[in-house]
Structure 1
């Protein structure tokens, strides 16, 4: 969008199907659930909740694998729209989403030229310019709808509640030490009256766009600590945190153990080594059966004399 003047980025586009009006534009680094959450929040604050969104089959909107397990068959974005009582319809052909495709071609021409004339070369300045561009574009090109009624609904949601909806939510299994894995990290719940009963159960994680992570059980926020999976646990850490001493001591003991023995191909296939078979002189010299036979032979020789 900024040609050679700035870093590459993507433009998220929301348009009204009835009028061709630009409803929301947003420059983002890449298309992801978090960037669509950001653009959707701005849309909802400006216009309210629509009856439905019509989208392409990007993985943000649609689970590609029919046999995918978990997630109740919907993406994070789809789950958020469901909680907001907004339908999402995925286009089955390029013709079905022709209005958006035509708009994208228009923006690739008109918007790029305007950005060049304004000397804009970054996402922040670009996003600050977009409201002016949308107003000018809509005034010139938007058409009158066949029906004048607006189907957008007011949200009537507190800002904190909207943030809870527009986030990534997943379930995690709590192990015996009140720990679970999340994004290559080990999360350890702090022990209290609630967490003691969560071993063997699932908690829900709330990941926000600003990097915050909330862990909850039936709506109750749980205190926790984060450890990197590859982090080495030192004796100093055990001394400074007595409450975790037992758990950290076990981790430290496991880390200090020697590297596991690398199995041979035969052992991987189930072969168990049984030691050397007697036969070579170094083995047979100390074999009890060989010693007994040797003694018997010597005694027989003495008797013959």
Structure 2
């Protein structure tokens, strides 16, 4: 929120959306770098995680609506017990001299997108295509700025000028309802489906067939027992007789 986690980020100019908005509003971010400031934050977290939970339990509150109705009473009682009056009671808030439309442009999500050769770029899993005009023809290879508002609207700008565009969903699929709207397209798809069903399905080859492996056939019957083979016995006896004769 306050710092860019990725140091080599291409966009953002080293600033988060929150930091950019404060910079355009001429507000400075004061981070809680001191131990005193961090102690205040931890004390508030302890209040929300400990004291508030116990008070809700004592009041018998277990719903969100009842909890929201109880918060003003809790804040009044908490401030009456723990609030410390400031050393200076001056109101240092300054007026915001910005038009409503200008404030909406500041408090929105703004990013830069690279325009491709077909005047398109990606945004939030959608394909944005700029309409071809005298301005957009020269935007190939350049960066445009996107303004994503909280109400879901998207505005594409180049040097402050809004550009017309069309949105295409990457995950869009052809459905049966979309096919029946065009009778000619439905007939063509039905004909293609019929031809595909008439064709024989190709046989799926195993990895052995793809590699050309052929299994060798084994001899019939069980493996021979060479200890009881007559030829082996005769050769063994001949060897023993030759050995005895030599001795």
Give the TM-score normalised by structure 2.
0.60
Find out whether 1:73 has 2:14 as its counterpart: yes
Partners of 2:21 and 2:105 in 1: CA distance: 9
* Cα distance change, pair 227–115 in 1 and its aligned pair in 2 (3 A): farther
Partners of 1:126 and 1:199 in 2: CA distance: 54
**Equivalent in 121, 130, 133 of residue 63 of structure 2:** 121
Match of 2:213 in 1: none
Partners of 1:132 and 1:190 in 2: CA distance: 56
Partners of 2:148 and 2:108 in 1: CA distance: 6
Tell me how far 1:95 sits from its aligned partner.
Answer: 5.1
8 Å CA contact 2:61–2:67 kept in 1: the answer is no
Secondary structure of the corresponding residue to residue 172 of structure 1: strand
Match of 2:210 in 1: none
Q: Superposed, which structure 2 residues align to 1:218-257 within 5 Å?
A: 218-231=159-172
Q: Which whole-Å deviations, capped at 9, do the CAs of 1:139-193 have from their partners, x for residues lacking one?
A: 4432111122222211122333222211111011111211101122111112334
**Equivalent in 134, 147, 168 of residue 88 of structure 2:** 147
Partners of 1:121 and 1:154 in 2: CA distance: 38
Tell me how far 1:215 sits from its aligned partner.
Answer: 1.2
* Cα distance change, pair 61–196 in 1 and its aligned pair in 2 (3 A): same
Partners of 1:221 and 1:131 in 2: CA distance: 44
Q: Superposed, which structure 2 residues align to 1:176-255 within 5 Å?
A: 176-231=117-172
* Cα distance change, pair 168–135 in 1 and its aligned pair in 2 (3 A): farther
Find out whether 1:61 has 2:2 as its counterpart: yes
Partners of 2:12 and 2:66 in 1: CA distance: 37
Instruction: Please tell me whether Structure 1 or Structure 2 has the larger radius of gyration of its CA atoms.
Output: 2
Greater fraction of residues in strand: 1
Match of 1:9 in 2: none
Tell me how far 1:135 sits from its aligned partner.
Answer: 4.4
Q: Report how many aligned residue pairs link the two structures.
A: 177
Q: Which structure ranks higher in relative contact order (CA pairs < 8 Å, sequence separation ≥ 6)?
A: 1
8 Å CA contact 2:112–2:145 kept in 1: the answer is yes
Tell me how far 1:220 sits from its aligned partner.
Answer: 1.8
CA RMSD of aligned residues (A): 3.0
Tell me how far 1:129 sits from its aligned partner.
Answer: 5.6
Secondary structure of the corresponding residue to residue 30 of structure 2: strand
Tell me how far 1:106 sits from its aligned partner.
Answer: 1.0
Give the TM-score normalised by structure 1.
0.50
Runs of 5+ consecutive residues of structure 1 not aligned to the other structure: 1-59, 241-305
8 Å CA contact 2:114–2:143 kept in 1: the answer is yes
* Cα distance change, pair 203–65 in 1 and its aligned pair in 2 (3 A): closer
* Cα distance change, pair 106–172 in 1 and its aligned pair in 2 (3 A): same
Runs of 5+ consecutive residues of structure 2 not aligned to the other structure: 183-247
Match of 1:5 in 2: none
8 Å CA contact 2:108–2:148 kept in 1: the answer is yes
Tell me how far 1:78 sits from its aligned partner.
Answer: 0.7
